[in-house]
Amino acid sequence: MPVADSEWSVPLTMHAAVYKGQSVVAVEQVPIPEIGPGEILVRVEACGICHTDLKKIEYNLLAPPRIYGHETAGVVVRTGRDVRCFVPGDRVVVFHHIPCRKCFYCERKLYAQCGIYKKVGVTAGFEPAGGGFSQYVRAMDWIVDGGVEKIPDGVSFERASFVEPVNTCLKAVVQCAPQAGELAVVIGQGPIGLLFTMLLKRTGATIVTTDTIPARRDLSRHCGALEAWDPREVDVAAEVRRLTEQRGADLVIVAASVPGIVEQAIRFSRPGARILLFAQTSETERVDVSGAAICVGERTLFGCYSASVDLQKESADLVFSGALPVEELISHRLPLVKIRSGFDLALHPGPESLKIILQPQRCSQ
């Protein structure tokens, strides 16, 4: 690629995985985005594949062309005028949403409903969509002001890329308010479900989990679950009642998305329980439950989505300190050119596949 004059030898073009529509993503050569005052250019070293991006691609939820990817860690290579907190060479994680902190929703700490929050502030080109599935991203000024965290020395980019997903799970756990001694069920032990298991363990709650993949159940126990069951082979509702004097779970977190899964959550729960929907992020998904199970059973059914700026520092500290063993969740590290393989592994997980990390600076291997 041609090289522009710069102390960091930033090229003029880069490789990026461009969403073309009709569920198609192609790795192409595109211009590196130019930055303006208050903005930074980040060389992407690691970006996790998240199911919210996969749903947008699989179900064609947003108009093409776009470059997705938002679990981004990398190195600052250029800074715009008036940037004071960052210099080229800083290792950083970049959040793609930051709220205004003063609107109706921000005053109620419903940051994901803020109009500014919904406006994506990180791009690799085209309509801003996160951009981490590329070699460089541009972070806009309001993101630089409040949505960039420096990575300490000794912390890998792969570990750092977990800061954003940990934030989303921590936000949900805070909203659930689990108490020591309560029984919590986490349905699904993919990367997000396992993060929930790690975080719930720190609250003193007793955790049981479900997943159909044996390796994930083994890792679930390692991360803090008392029991991890295959729901095809075990009567989970009966086992939960056995552990709770026949009541049912105090809290159920739905960290997977398949038909009938919310009905499962209700069966696992006791009257008065809290049931959190975390994976139901597509408009095409529908939930059909008994109204009486919620009303007469006095259950609370609620959702939680995206990250909280209030928890940004705490989530970064949990990842950077090693308090959460997030690197144990990484099953594959792939170059950008193999992104389609990464999508397939995430959408159709095999016995050993878990968290897939893209490394855009790697050549094909």
Q: Distance between CA atoms of 220 and 208, rounded to whole angstroms?
A: 9
Cα 203 from Cα 181, distance rounded (Å): 9
Q: Give the model's pLDDT for residue 364.
A: 62
Mean pLDDT of each 10-residue bin along the chain, 365 residues long: 55 96 96 97 98 91 96 98 96 98 97 97 97 98 98 98 98 97 98 98 98 98 98 98 98 95 97 97 88 98 97 98 98 97 94 96 76
Full set of structural domains in the chain with CATH: 13-162+324-359 (3.90.180.10), 169-303 (3.40.50.720)
Cβ neighbours, 10 Å, residue 352? 11
pLDDT at 7: 60
Residues with Cβ within 8 Å of 153's Cβ and at least 6 positions away in sequence, in order, are: none
Q: How far apart are CA 314 and CA 171, in angstroms?
A: 10
The kind and range of the H/E element at 313 are: helix 312-320
Give the tokens for residue 267: 């069966």
pLDDT in tens, 257-296: 999 999 999 999 999 999 999 999 888 888 999 999 999 9
